[in-house]
Amino acid sequence: MTAPTATILPLDPFARFRAATRARIGLGRAGDALPTPALLDFQMAHALARDAVYGTVDWDALSDALPLQATGPVIAVHSDAPDRATYLRRPDLGRRLDAGSPARLHAAADTPCDLALVIADGLSAAAVQRWAAPVVHEVLARVPGWTVRIVTARQARVALGDPVGLALSATLAAVLIGERPGLSVADSLGIYLTYDPRPGRKDSERNCLSNIHANGLSPALAAEKLVWLMTEARQRRLTGVDLKEEAPTLETTRATDPLPPVP
C-alpha cells in the first residue's frame, strides 16, 4: 500500500504586493464570488466610509483638545448649507458663510493675524475628530511669535476659508478638512493653504497636503511641511502652482519596509 501523496498548494503570487499596499489586489474567489473574509472587509470599509460622510464632529470635545491659551477662544462659524443633506447636494453653499457668521468673525478681528487655522468637517467627520487637534498642536509649536486664530466651520468646503480669512484680516488661511473617504482610509485629513485669502480665489492658488492618517502623513510631518510652505508663502507673497514644495528631506515617522523577496 502506497502512502498518500501530500497536496502542495501553490504560492500566492500577490502576497508580496499586499505587504506593500493597502489596495485590494489578488483577493481570489470562492466560486463566482469573493471569498468571505474579503467580502466582509469590503462591507466594513464601505460602512466606515458612509459613517465618515454622514457623521458629526463633536465640536465641544475638539475645542477642549485645542491649545486655546496660545490663540484665544475658538470662533465657530457655519456655511450657508443648513444641514448635511443640503451640504452634500449643494457644494456651492458649503463655500459661503451663513448670515450670522461674519459678525462673529469681525467681532474677533480686532487686529490682523498671520494665520487663520480653519477646522472644517468636510467629507469625513472621523478625520477631523481624530487628527485636527494633533496637527494644530504641532503647527503652533513651530510658529512661535505668529498671531494665530482658530475657527471651527460646520458644513464647510475648502473655499469657506477665503471669506473667513478675509474677515479676520489673515495673511494666510490653512483649512484643515476631512477628505472624501475611500475604501482603504475613511479618516484622512487634508490641509489647504491660501495666501491673502478672499472670495474668488481659485484652487490653483492653493497648496494642498493630503493623506494625514495612521498609514499616511503623521501630524508632525504634516506640520513640518505646512510650516515650510507658510514661511515660503509669506516671503514670496503667493501660494498655489507657483509655490513648489522644495522642503529639505524630512525623516518620516514610520518605517517603509521593502517588498519581500519573490518566493
Predicted pLDDT at 219: 97
Q: What are phi and psi of 78, to 5 degrees?
A: -140, 145
Residue 10 belongs to some domain of the structure: no
The number of folded domains in the chain is 1
What phi and psi, each to the nearest 5 degrees, are found at residue 107? Answer: -65, -30
Q: What pLDDT was estimated at residue 32?
A: 86
Which residues in 16-50 are b (16+ Cβ under 10 Å) and which e? eeeeeeeeeeeeeeeeeebeeebeeeeeebeebbe
Predicted local confidence at residue 257, as pLDDT: 40
pLDDT given at position 124: 96
Range(s) of the domain holding residue 100: 57-236
In a domain, 52, yes or no: no
Residue 1: the pLDDT is 56
CATH number of the structural domain spanning residue 151: 3.40.50.11240
> For the segment 24-83, what is each residue's pLDDT rounded down to a tens digit?
888 888 888 888 988 898 899 899 999 899 999 999 999 999 987 666 789 999 999 999
Please give the pLDDT value at position 69.
67
pLDDT-flagged residues of the chain (< 50): 251-263
For residue 63, tell me if it sits in a domain.
Answer: yes
**Does 81 map to a domain?**
yes
**63 grid coordinates:** 475645542
* Of the candidates 164, 217, 161, 162, the residue with the CA atom closest to the CA atom of residue 189: 217
DSSP code for 263: -
pLDDT of residue 263: 32
The pTM score is 0.85
Which pLDDT does position 4 carry in this prediction? 60
Strand arrangement, sheet containing 189-195: 75-78, 148-154, 113-120, 170-178, 189-195, 206-212
- pLDDT recorded at residue 234: 95
- Of 138, 143, 129, the C-alpha closest to 172 is 143
Q: Is-contact 77 97, C-beta < 8 A?
A: yes
